[in-house]
Amino acid sequence: METTFGPALREWRNRRRVSQLDLGSQAGVSARHISFLETGRSKPSREMVHHLSEYLEVPLSERNALLNAAGFAAAYRTRDLSDDEMAQVRAAIDWTLERHDPFPALALDRHWTVVRANSSAEIMIGAIGLSEGESMLSAITDTKRMEAAIVNWEEVAQYLIVRLRTESAFVGGDPLLESTADRMIEEQRTRWPERSGFLQAVVPIQFKAQNMVLSLFSTIAQFGTAEDIALADLRIEMYFPADEETRQVLMGLANA
């Protein structure tokens, strides 16, 4: 039976910009065998599909597609976070967000929907008119809304466009992430600030808060051994104060 695995494998190899020789060397198979798989002269085993997917860092949802292309059944499910078998995952997320308070922390899905938010993050996203269950993608394409809430929106917008492109590329192209980046580029086309000298180590987000400006930078954590599609796409974004004044304000919230 003819399969579409060969072209799909070639496409992922090209996306990751590795040669047949490089992939074969990394995966412990010959470049000749990689060539035979791509041309259809050899048929992969189920184990080989998993093996090559690991080295090409293929997202779980796309690994299902590769398995199907090779004539095998899908291996990965998408569970709802409310499922009983996800109880320990929910507990881990809630523990992380609660312990990070009074600094903001969010759990976001692949399309930047706010799955969970701690109390300080609820205040933060509330400043741009969002709440749990809503996607941040709708907000970041609204320049007026973002400029009203973020002092350095032009700088932050440039960072977010790069992040959208990077996240889309990793999953092999995501139309929603790409279209959001395109809209932001169009909005910002005449707004790019001039950059000179050395760039900062991180890009702080400067939120307007009454008569103050809270400066925050973020770090992202993901589940490293996820075997569920939704869980693999889930990430926890934790914000930290970028200056002492912001730290004092946020710590004051904890003691209020």
- Over residues 197-235, the pLDDT tens digits come to 555 667 899 998 778 899 999 999 998 778 899 999 999
Residues in the chain: 256
Residues with Cβ within 8 Å of 250's Cβ and at least 6 positions away in sequence, in order, are 102, 103, 120, 214, 241
Helix (H, G, I), strand (E, B) or coil at 228: strand
Closest CA to 92 of 103, 105, 102: 105
Compute the chain's Rg from CA coordinates.
22
What is the predicted pLDDT for the residue at 200? 63
Note whether 74 and 67 are within 8 A (CB). Answer: yes
pLDDT band at 88; cut points 50, 70, 90: very high
**Cα gap 148→160, rounded to integer Å:** 17
Give residue for tokens 């599909």. Answer: 49
- Kindly list the distances between the CA atom of residue 230 and the CA atoms of 89, 97, 116, 142, 168, in Å, as whole numbers in the listed order: 12, 19, 14, 27, 16
pLDDT tens by residue, 154-165: 889 999 999 999
Q: How many angstroms from the chain centroid is the CA of residue 192? A: 24
What is the value of pTM for the model shown?
Answer: 0.85
pLDDT at 96 over 50: yes
Note whether 132 and 19 are within 8 A (CB). Answer: no
- Kindly list the distances between the CA atom of residue 3 and the CA atoms of 41, 64, 85, 171, 236, in Å, as whole numbers in the listed order: 11, 14, 35, 22, 38
Helix (H, G, I), strand (E, B) or coil at 152: coil
What is the predicted pLDDT for the residue at 192? 57
Identify the bridge partners of residue 105 per DSSP, sorted by sequence position.
238
Closest CA to 9 of 222, 43, 177: 43
Give the neighbor-by-neighbor strand order of the sheet with 205-209. 114-117, 105-108, 235-241, 212-222, 205-209
**Cα gap 227→90, rounded to integer Å:** 15
pLDDT at 253 over 80: no
